[in-house]
Structure 1
Amino acid sequence: MHVVVVASQKGGAGKTSLIRSLAVATHQAGHATALLDTDPQGSLTSWWNRRQDQEPALVRIELADFAAGVERLASAGIEFLFVDTPPSVRPELRTLLGHASIAVVPVRPSPDDLDAVGDTLALIEDAGCPFLFVLTQAKPRTRLQLQAVMALAKHGKLAPTVIHDRTDFPTAAITGRAVTEIEPETIAAREVKDVLDYVLTQLRKGSGKAQAE
């Protein structure tokens, strides 16, 4: 089972929006998918409670017994577990990163967000966890977006598709849905699918490397 931890020490980076979008798209692609909300704000849980569809499943795992919880989910047939995390440095985040197959780091194209990336990367690298950046909530064709792409590419892998700031995301969230569920062929939905394809490609590469070793 793949554990995908979405982490950002900067609030407002679109972390919860990204994780629910990726999880729904993974479920739609035919994979058994689950969600775990470890953020005390509970935004992911609130969104899930507004859903009519009970998939992807929202699960509970005691972080003190996280490894055993992951094993139980894997035994139940879950292929992907997407984990939302709090926007702060907490001991629980170190535990989650230590068990992650990959960490996805959403970053807005702003100087403040780029400055805050270092704290998140320090935690990820300390855990020895593979990671990638996703540029989120970007305005199309701006100099800030280009500068952010160049800056992030120096620190690690960056998803080639940018998630732009579109009203489709909050509109879908009102009813507990994701953009790929409302209009699968919109630009917003395509961006999510493209980012998911990149995440899955990196997971496959990581699995192949682990098997070779």
Structure 2
Amino acid sequence: MIICLSSLKGGSGKTTLAVHLAHAISLSKKKVILIDADPQGSSQGWAASREDKPPFPVIGMARNTLHRDLPELLENYDHCVIDTPPRVSALARTAILAADLVLIPVQPSSYDIWAASETVKLIEEAQGFKPEIIAAFVINRKITNTAISREVSEALSDYEFPLLKTTIGQRVIFSESSAGYSVMELAPGKVASTEIKQLSQEVIKMMGLQKW
């Protein structure tokens, strides 16, 4: 399965979710690869900042032919996660075309909700060429008991794409994980780790997989 994290708004948390989903998958003893399709190379930077070998390979493939080049590379892997650039571009389009599932991270903010419409248009465009692409929203950096956090769910219900039940909270540990280690490594028994595992399990169920 190929999961693409896509949002045309910068700072939505694509890289954080991409890294953590890749790690959650790798913990199930499946071979997973993280593709960094963003020229900024944030996912590659995460891997490079570790003192030891990352739990899964991270490869930079910021190329406009990703959807054609990826299948050959994935012959040796069970699953793939793609981190994408934060703007409308050929790179964003090719990453979406390569995907089985596109996850759209949305923060609880009016601007994020507005920006989601542009991402939806890009995915719908890709579905015209590849109708089997599935897409869903995931609320990221949620702040509990705030009005905007409640309103974002209502706003996203206007779109045809579903909203995942699992939400990822605004937690300091995710910022600390940018130094090369996931929350499953830094705080395996904490809420952040549980949220990521729940997200991966919901994705499994959504895609009709019994296990990774």
Give secondary structure in 1 for the equivalent of 2:169. coil
Structure 2 residue identity aligned to 1:98: L
Shift of 1:53: 2.6
In structure 2, list runs of 5 or more residues that go unmatched.
128-132
Report the 3-state secondary structure (helix = DSSP H, G, I; strand = E; otherwise coil) of the residue aligned with 2:53: coil
Map 1:86-165 → 2, pairs under 5 A: 86-128=85-127, 129-155=133-159, 156-165=161-170
Task: Using structure 1 for the length normalisation, give the TM-score.
Answer: 0.89
Please say if residues 33 and 55 of structure 1, whose CA atoms lie closer than 8 Å, have aligned partners that are also in contact.
Answer: no
Q: How far does residue 34 in structure 1 lie from its aligned partner after superposition?
A: 0.3
Kindly state the Cα deviation for residue 15 of structure 1 after the two structures are TM-superposed. 1.0
- The question of 1:56 aligning with 2:60 is answered no
Instruction: Judge conservation of contact 2:37–2:62 (CA < 8 Å) in 1.
Output: no
Deviation string for 1:2-29 (max 9, x for gaps)? Answer: 1111000111111111111111111112
Instruction: Please report the RMSD computed on the Cα atoms of aligned residues, expressed in angstroms.
Output: 1.6
- Equivalent residue number for residue 130 of structure 2: none
- What is the total number of aligned residue pairs between the two structures? 202
Q: Secondary structure at the match of 1:56?
A: coil
Q: Which amino acid in the other structure matches residue 63 of structure 1?
A: R
Taking structure 2 as the reference length, the TM-score comes to 0.89
Structure 1 unmatched ranges of 5 or more: 206-213
Distance in 2 between the 1:118 and 1:165 partners?
Answer: 23
The alpha carbon displacement at 1:201 in A equals 1.6
Shift of residue 63 of structure 1? 3.3
1:61 Cα deviation (Å)?
4.1
The verdict on how the C-alpha distance between 1:111 and 1:72 changes in structure 2, with shifts beyond 3 A counting, is: same
Runs of 4+ in 1 over 6 A off after TM superposition: none
Pair 1:198-2:202 in alignment: yes
The answer to whether residue 33 in structure 2 is matched with residue 28 in structure 1 is: no
Tell me by how many angstroms 1:154 deviates: 2.9
C-alpha distance in 2 between matches for 1:29 and 1:142:
35
Give the secondary structure class of the aligned counterpart of 1:133: strand
Q: Which moved more, 1:183-192 or 1:49-58?
A: 49-58
Cα distance in structure 2, aligned partners of 1:87 and 1:15: 9
CA distance, structure 1, for counterparts of residue 19 and residue 188 of structure 2:
15
Supply the distance in 1 between the matched residues of 2:71 and 2:110 (Cα, whole angstroms). Answer: 40
Structure 1, residues 159-209: CA drift from partner, whole Å, max 9, x if none?
A: 1111111011111222x011012222210111111111111222227xxxx
